[in-house]
Structure formats: C-alpha cells, structure tokens
Amino acid sequence: MLAEDREHHIFKLLFILLFWVFFRISMAITVVVGIIQWVMLWFEDEPNQTLFKFSQQLTIFQTQISAYMTFQSNEKVFPFNDWPEVPQSTSEDADETSL
C-alpha cells in the first residue's frame, strides 16, 4: 500500500468520525423537530411547512452521511459541501401527502 493511500484512508477515517458526530447531532435535532411539529399540530391542525421542508433536508443530509460512512459515496457532506435541497418532485409529493 502506498503512503498516499494510507494517508487517504486516515483522512477518510477522520471524516467518518466527524460525520458520525454530525449524524448524532442531526438525530437529536430530528427528535426536537418532531416534537415541535406534534405540538404545532395541536394548535394549527397541520404541520408547519418551514419545519416540514427542513426535516426533508435533514433526512437527505442524514442519508448523505450514511452513504459516506459506508463507502457508497466519497462526496463529503455539509459543511464541506452545500446544504442539501429537496428535489422539486419530492417536495410537491410531500405537500400533497400532508393535506
């Protein structure tokens, strides 16, 4: 194994550990968003659309982290890349489902 490969593997391990921390934090945020949505549902009879869109983005972010950690992708996630956007078709489908 070349020294460059070893260095690459060490950096990959460091990023995996960092992204694992991001993943754990994002899971805590997911719980908080879920609780807030549930409370808001009592008062407004429908989910908050801003939180709904954020939770979709958070789900994509968590999927990207999982893909990186399991070597399905070499693309680094936020903050080393852009925050994920919800594809338009997914967003429209979700709006219809929530009504």
Q: Are 48 and 37 in contact (CB under 8 A)?
A: yes
Q: Is the pLDDT of residue 70 over 80?
A: yes
Backbone phi and psi for residue 17, each to the nearest 5 degrees, phi listed first: -65, -40
Q: Are 41 and 47 in contact (CB under 8 A)?
A: yes
Rounded mean pLDDT of 80-85? 89
Q: What is the C-alpha to C-alpha distance for residues 26 and 48, in angstroms, rounded to an integer?
A: 19
Q: Is the pLDDT of residue 99 over 50?
A: no
Task: Indicate the SS3 state at residue 83.
Answer: coil
pTM listed for this prediction: 0.78
Q: Model confidence over 51-63: pLDDT tens digits? A: 999 999 999 999 9
